[in-house]
Amino acid sequence: MPRLYNLVNNDELKRRMYESDEQRTTFSFYQYWNIDDPQAFRDQVFREWAALGLWGRIYVAKEGINAQVSVPELNFEAFRETLYAIPALNGIRLNIAVEDDGKSFYKLKIKVRDKIVADGLDDHTFDATRRGRALQAGEFNAITDDPDTLVVDMRNHYESEVGHFQNAICPEVVTFREALPVVEEMLEDKKDRNIVMYCTGGIRCEKASAYFLHKGFRNVFMVEGGIIEYARQCKAQGLPNKFIGKNFVFDERLGERISEEVIAHCHQCGAPCDAHINCANDACHLLFIQCDACATRYERCCSSACAEFARLPETEREALKPTMTFNGTRFTKGRYKAYKAGGDLVME
């Protein structure tokens, strides 16, 4: 029987993933529905899905499930059968990755949480099932042809920095919880306008659209299936693609290209670039954008100081960690501007 947790350390699991030639399919899914016993449900699906070689990050709560995962291509149909055997999940959409090398996840992690998305809302104060109307790709293109329509990105700033819909409002926020009041204030005097919200796969907008309808916004829409499903429909139906740049994803890939435009810049030299990376100094681990030239110059680190620290013997690094401050200690996921001589990233 599969264990209900992982025993092998992350570095070893990552090494195995990158060295493997196994063909895998990356996808995501979610569903809001009442789960009476989230822990029992979590343990049940861990056993079933681990046996199929599923890897990824799954959150389970009383309100439902939220999953970003990959599975061996040969087991994809078997996984779908086990998923659809759960009545509340029968027939739900699986958002297949747009750009996938199979190197997205390296272990299965299923956690029980209070909510499947941290939104900071008290769901008892409004009807979370009264949501905005979902738009297919063609409908989205049509409604956004109207210049009075407002398109709102409900993702974080480091996501929209590398890609967003044309003319979208992109709040400078770090979390979804932070985005809700910020967007509400930005749109306070626009409650009669058509407002179209979008996110990566749709889950954030289901809750956000219900919240904004509760707050008195009258014409609230959301992109069905988010950016991933929009891109799939545009390709399948030969529709114009209004998304520019790259779709940020929360796995080892850190992004999938939707259009050829590069709209972001290296945080160290300012060159056009939309490749996110975590600082190679594990004591820093800052998420930032780095071009190939700066990756070579700074050894995949966010600064010269981090590069120098990463070269030290492990015992010396461990001894120095408590006494040192790095960019990742001070900054929050890329909230800084390019650039300063010496590779030191600076706050806005």
CATH number of the structural domain spanning residue 209: 3.40.250.10
Q: For 260, what's the count of Cα atoms within 13 Å in the CB-facing half-sphere?
A: 0
**Residue 165 shares a structural domain with residue 237:** yes
**Residue 22 shares a structural domain with residue 108:** yes
Is position 338 within any domain? yes
**Residue 157 shares a structural domain with residue 107:** no
**Residue 26 shares a structural domain with residue 68:** yes
Contact 195, 209 (CB under 8 A): no
Which residue range forms the structural domain that includes residue 311?
Answer: 264-348
Distance separating alpha carbons of residues 89 and 32, to the nearest angstrom: 9
Can you give the pLDDT at residue 288?
94
Can you give the pLDDT at residue 1?
43
Is position 255 within any domain? no
Torsion angle of the four alpha carbons 166, 250, 228, 174, in this order, in degrees rounded to the nearest 10: -30
Identify the H or E element spanning 328: helix 327-330
∠ CA(295), CA(163), CA(140), 5° rounding? 165
Can you give the pLDDT at residue 164?
98
State the CB neighbour count (10 A cutoff) for residue 35: 19
**Residue 157 shares a structural domain with residue 211:** yes
Is position 29 within any domain? yes
**Residue 131 shares a structural domain with residue 237:** yes
The total number of structural domains in the chain stands at 3
Is position 121 within any domain? no
**Residue 26 shares a structural domain with residue 78:** yes
Active-site choice (170, 199, 291, 294): 199
Can you give the pLDDT at residue 340?
47
**Residue 105 shares a structural domain with residue 161:** no
Of the three residues 81, 112, 143, the one that is the final residue of a domain is 112
pTM of the model: 0.89
Can you give the pLDDT at residue 25?
97
Of residues 79, 80, 81, the one with CA closest to residue 53: 79
Of the three residues 112, 142, 163, the one that is the final residue of a domain is 112
**Residue 23 shares a structural domain with residue 100:** yes
Is position 258 within any domain? no
Of residues 94, 112, 100, the one with CA closest to residue 38: 112
**Residue 278 shares a structural domain with residue 236:** no
Is position 343 within any domain? yes
Residues facing residue 32 across a β-bridge = 64
Of the three residues 77, 112, 147, the one that is the final residue of a domain is 112
> Which regions in the chain score pLDDT beneath 50?
1-2, 339-342, 347-348
Query: What are the tens digits of pLDDT across the range 98-108?
Result: 999 989 999 99
Integer angstrom CA distances of residue 107 from 22, 76, 84: 14, 16, 22
Is-catalytic flag, 306? Answer: no
Is position 151 within any domain? yes
Can you give the pLDDT at residue 167?
96
**Residue 326 shares a structural domain with residue 240:** no
**Residue 133 shares a structural domain with residue 232:** yes
Burial 96-132 (b: 16+ CB within 10 A, else e): ebbebebbbbbbbebebeebbbebebeeeebebeebb
Is position 117 within any domain? no
What CATH code is carried by the domain that includes residue 98?
3.30.70.100
Can you give the pLDDT at residue 347?
41
Which residues lie below 8 Å from residue 116, measured CB to CB, with a gap of 6+?
30, 32, 59, 60, 61, 63, 64, 65, 66, 203
Residue type, 240: P
